[in-house]
């Protein structure tokens, strides 16, 4: 496994309005190391895109003067130390189009690892040239074009103009955009998009929850937790994550032994499920639920019996 870390050299964050920012809370960088506040209004104005602030009064994002040599020096030293201290293998750089392009070559050189930038723009002639400043970018032009194609809204032309398509990050869902099933209920189209993600020229990126067909809309609905909470009481929480169902208890070791009927597990009727922690077996009822023995406040982790084959767990 390789470790890729998301970094944001464009801005800091402050919980409040832009005019209330306490610059004293930031380490190393001082107030003079940030651009004066201006709201971002014209995305066609590159100077405004790079110098004005993201965020709002819920979370101000003071925009860093990355064009300042002193700031760039500190940022380069920081990323070199971060990569070294945590043995990082690659960087996903956020908000790339909001930073002056000349900042990135020394930054990535200081990091000494693969750099992939987020340039959230569908225009190929705008996004792909950023490959001249770092190894890779997320393939937003393909994302927008193919999304329209598979939603049968338009056709796709083959003119990309990118430096190296094999290094582009191929994706069709992420935390900033509506999930693909939000736009179409046709499962065959979803499968085609996943096939292109994995088998296309670029580096495939699968967003958590995509494998479970999550269908959330715009942020924050696109950021749903992967683990589903099925039931929540004062003493028990029932969770579902793909094939694994979990029952948690807050009663502690003095809890009595009792039987809990699960909720929302949706196991296949008549199948046998196994508690991977205690190895107890249960038969699934006609409603897809099981009656689980709760003992001494211990957790229960249930999977269908077939899933344990060859695992060495519970004698399988």
Q: Spell out the alpha helix ranges (H) of the chain.
A: 46-51, 69-86, 104-111, 124-127, 140-150, 180-183, 187-199
Q: What's the token pair of residue 273? A: 């499920």
6 is catalytic: no
Of 48, 74, 94, 135, the catalytic one is: 94
Cis peptide bond N-terminal to 108, omega within 30: no
Distances (CA, A) of 39 to 47, 53, 65: 12, 6, 16
Strand partners, 63: 11
- At residue 291, the 3 state secondary structure works out as strand
Active site residue 304: no
End-to-end CA distance of the chain: 27
**CA–CA gap between residue 224 and residue 214 (Å, rounded):** 8
Active-site residue identified among 50, 118, 275, 289: 118
- Active site residue ranges: 94, 118
């Amino acid at each position: 496994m390789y470790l890729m870390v998301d970094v944001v050299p464009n801005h800091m964050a402050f919980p409040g309005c832009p005019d209330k920012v306490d610059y004293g809370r930031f380490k190393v960088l001082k107030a003079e190391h940030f651009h004066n506040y201006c709201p971002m209004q014209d995305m066609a104005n590159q100077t405004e895109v790079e110098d004005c602030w993201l965020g709002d009064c819920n979370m101000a994002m003071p925009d860093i003067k990355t064009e300042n040599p002193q700031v760039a020096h500190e940022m380069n030293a920081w990323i070199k130390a971060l990569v070294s201290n945590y043995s990082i293998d690659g960087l996903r750089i956020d908000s790339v189009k909001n930073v002056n392009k000349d900042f990135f070559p020394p930054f990535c050189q200081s990091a000494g690892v693969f750099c992939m930038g987020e340039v959230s723009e569908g225009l190929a002639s705008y996004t792909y040239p950023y490959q001249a400043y770092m190894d890779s970018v997320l393939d937003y032009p393909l994302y927008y074009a193919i999304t329209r194609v598979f939603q049968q809204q338009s056709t796709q032309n083959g003119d990309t103009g990118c430096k190296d398509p094999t290094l582009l990050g191929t994706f069709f869902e992420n935390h900033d955009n509506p999930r693909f099933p939000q736009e179409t209920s046709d499962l065959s189209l979803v499968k085609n998009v996943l096939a292109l993600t994995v088998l296309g020229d670029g580096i495939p990126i699968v967003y958590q929850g995509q494998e479970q067909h999550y269908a959330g809309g715009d942020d924050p609905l696109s950021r749903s937790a992967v683990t589903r909470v099925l039931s929540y009481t004062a003493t028990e929480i029932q969770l579902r994550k793909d094939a694994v169902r979990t029952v948690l208890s807050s009663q502690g070791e003095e809890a009595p032994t009792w039987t809990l009927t699960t909720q929302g597990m949706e196991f296949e009727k008549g199948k046998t499920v196994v508690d991977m922690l205690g190895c107890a077996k249960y038969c699934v009822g006609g409603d897809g639920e099981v009656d689980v023995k709760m003992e001494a406040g211990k957790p229960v982790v249930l999977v269908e019996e077939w899933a344990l084959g060859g695992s060495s767990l519970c004698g399988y």
